């Protein structure tokens, strides 16, 4: 069998279209660390592009057919790359092999012990928790994450150990390509409406993911989330894998007995399948993140790691960029950034922040940017209801990402629903007006949350500058 760190022939000189993306840049980094001659292009320059160049990767800015080297062995694409991309068209014309991002990642896991983390929400956080804790235990894992860790400062790493931790994306069914030894399913909900028409399609997709678990492997699945419980029920006849449930439910195999918040952290007490009880610290706030940590703990135990040591190591996790990331404080106001863009994620983050501000009595002010027309069309009402958990919100226009506008779908779907739910909400189309608007709304002790999967994250520093002026 080829060594675990071998580079597939098609990946010796790969070209990545959209190399600056979170998922694409991670795979490119691992390949470069393994010795591949990596190149790629992205729409604009970025810190990610610079980091890749520092590894010897050739990064072109803009998309043009001439960027594709004559000796390229493959072109790597994600589902976001349109068919008319000039580099993709050049590859097809020249007969260069086109590889989907998920196939490239699957190839990197060959010969290793993969942990694949799936679910509608919480994948990045849970994958990151595992990467940090396994690293703290000296296991030198490889990992590929859809966000940048605070601790290692990276979204991916080629490690010399046997464990590979990967975020398994269900949005385009990419997670069907992986063959994990341990799989985690955090929750199952209807999202990605351009690719899934019903919950039955979602369940079928997750069942296919579970089918990919190696014989004798383990599925770690939430006992609290209704969709995850339904998935578990559909798997009742499986005897080729071990199914371990976790959560606060009384029937959970790994049961959360108590979550005690203190500031922006929590102490979590669990009982393991062995009956042993342990308490450890989760250095991010809220029940949602405590549950992610317990899922990571259960997955590590499934790989026969010592639970007490793993629990202590999980306490070293300090967060992921854009996942309740503290950007700074000015004039007594803290500014935190959140990637939450689905109503469940929004609710979880707002509840977590509320529990962290109960002692101070500060208000929560949200700057929310909806992500995708299709998601707003389907879930705009629920997004507005989630914003009712804040003391006041400002809602920006929809960030389109890869989508074209849908007639009649605007941020008004969210602001109207928010007002019906009793929320204080202000629409604002001009991003540049936000710093002044927030400065006028806030007072010492408040917490400002920039929220969404688009470029709303850029507003944090500008708000801090304006508050400090």
302: its two tokens: 């499934």
Structure confidence at residue 262 (pLDDT) = 78
- CATH 3.40.640.10 matches 9-97: no
Structure confidence at residue 149 (pLDDT) = 55
Three-state secondary structure call for residue 430: coil
Q: Provide the pLDDT confidence category of residue 168 given band limits of 50, 70 and 90.
A: very high
Q: Residue 23 in contact with residue 49, Cβ under 8 Å?
A: no
> What is the Cα–Cα distance from 337 to 454, expressed in whole angstroms?
11
pLDDT (tens digit, 9 = 90+) per residue, 186-237? 999 877 666 777 888 999 999 999 999 999 999 999 999 999 999 999 999 9
Torsion of CA 317, 24, 379, 246, to 10 degrees: -40
pLDDT at 151 over 50: no
Any known ligand binding at 121?
yes
* Helical residues (DSSP H) of 39-189, grouped into ranges: 47-54, 86-94, 101-109, 123-136
Q: Provide the pLDDT confidence category of residue 152 given band limits of 50, 70 and 90.
A: very low
- What value does the mean pLDDT take over residues 439-447? 93
DSSP of 187-237: ------TTT--SHHHHHHHHHHHHHTSPTT-EEEEESSSHHHHHHHHHTTT
CATH number of the domain located at residue range(s) 112-314 in this protein = 3.40.1190.10
- The superfamily in CATH containing domain 323-467 is Mur ligase, C-terminal domain (3.90.190.20)
Any known ligand binding at 431?
no
Exposure class string for 386-425: b at 16+ Cβ within 10 A, else e:
bbbbbbbbbbbebbeeebeeeeebbbebbbbbbeebebeb
Any known ligand binding at 415?
no
pTM for this entry: 0.76
For all residues of the chain together, what is the average pLDDT? 91
Three-state secondary structure call for residue 449: strand
For residue 321, what is the DSSP state? T
Lowest mean pLDDT among 11-20, 166-175, 393-402, 416-425: 166-175
Residues forming CATH 3.40.1190.10 domain(s) in the chain: 112-314
Pairing type for strands 333-338 and 323-330 reads: antiparallel
Residue at token pair 């449930």: 245
Residue at token pair 């004798």: 216
Q: Provide the pLDDT confidence category of residue 287 given band limits of 50, 70 and 90.
A: confident
- What value does the mean pLDDT take over residues 267-280? 95
User: Which of 299, 309, 29 lies closest to 157, judged by CA?
Assistant: 29
Any known ligand binding at 120?
yes
> What is the Cα–Cα distance from 15 to 24, expressed in whole angstroms?
11
Residues forming CATH 3.40.50.720 domain(s) in the chain: 9-97
Q: Provide the pLDDT confidence category of residue 359 given band limits of 50, 70 and 90.
A: low
pLDDT (tens digit, 9 = 90+) per residue, 16-31? 999 998 889 999 999 9
- % the chain with pLDDT above 70: 94
Residues forming CATH 3.90.190.20 domain(s) in the chain: 323-467
Any known ligand binding at 125?
yes
157: its two tokens: 């790493």
Structure confidence at residue 450 (pLDDT) = 97
Residues taking part in catalysis: 123-124, 167
């Amino acid at each position: 069998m080829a060594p675990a760190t071998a580079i597939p022939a098609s990946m010796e000189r790969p070209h990545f279209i959209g190399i600056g993306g979170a998922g694409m840049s991670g795979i490119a980094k691992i390949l470069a660390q393994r010795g591949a001659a990596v190149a790629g292009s992205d729409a604009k320059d970025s810190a990610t592009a610079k980091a890749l160049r520092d590894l010897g990767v050739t990064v072109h800015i803009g998309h043009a057919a001439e960027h594709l080297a004559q000796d390229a062995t493959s072109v790597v694409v994600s589902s976001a790359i349109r068919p008319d991309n000039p580099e993709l068209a050049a590859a097809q014309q020249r007969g260069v092999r086109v590889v989907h991002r998920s196939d490239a990642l699957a190839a990197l896991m060959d010969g290793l012990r993969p942990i694949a983390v799936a679910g509608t929400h919480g994948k990045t956080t849970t994958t990151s928790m595992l990467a940090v804790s396994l690293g703290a235990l000296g296991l030198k894992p490889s990992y590929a994450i859809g966000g940048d860790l605070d601790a290692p400062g990276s979204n991916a790493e080629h490690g010399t150990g046997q464990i590979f931790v990967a975020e398994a994306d269900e949005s385009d069914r990419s997670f069907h390509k992986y063959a994990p030894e341990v799989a985690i399913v955090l929750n199952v909900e209807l999202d990605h409406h351009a690719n899934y028409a019903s919950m039955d399609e979602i369940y079928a997709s997750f069942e296919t993911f579970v089918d990919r678990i190696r014989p004798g492997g383990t599925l770690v699945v939430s006992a609290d989330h209704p969709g995850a419980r339904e998935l578990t029920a559909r798997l009742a006849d499986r005897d080729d894998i071990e199914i371990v449930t976790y959560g606060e439910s009384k029937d959970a195999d790994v049961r959360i007995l108590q979550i005690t918040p203190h500031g922006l952290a929590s102490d979590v007490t669990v009982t393991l399948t062995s009956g042993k009880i342990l308490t450890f610290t989760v250095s991010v706030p809220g029940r949602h993140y405590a549950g992610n940590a317990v899922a990571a703990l259960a997955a590590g135990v499934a790989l026969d790691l010592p639970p007490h040591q793993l629990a202590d190591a999980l306490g070293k996790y300090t967060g992921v960029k854009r996942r309740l990331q503290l950007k700074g404080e000015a004039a007594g106001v803290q500014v935190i950034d959140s990637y939450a863009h689905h109503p469940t994620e929004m609710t979880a983050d707002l509840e977590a922040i509320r529990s962290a501000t109960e002692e101070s009595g500060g208000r929560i002010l949200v700057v929310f940017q909806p992500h995708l027309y299709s998601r707003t069309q389907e879930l705009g009402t629920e997004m507005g209801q989630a914003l009712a958990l804040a003391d006041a919100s400002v809602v920006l226009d929809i960030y389109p990402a890869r989508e074209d506008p849908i007639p009649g779908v605007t941020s008004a779907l969210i602001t109207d629903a928010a007002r019906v739910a009793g929320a204080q909400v202000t629409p604002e189309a001009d991003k540049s007006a936000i710093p002044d608007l927030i400065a006028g709304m806030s007072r010492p002790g408040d917490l400002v949350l920039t929220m969404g999967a688009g470029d709303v994250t850029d507003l944090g520093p500008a708000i801090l500058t304006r508050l400090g002026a």
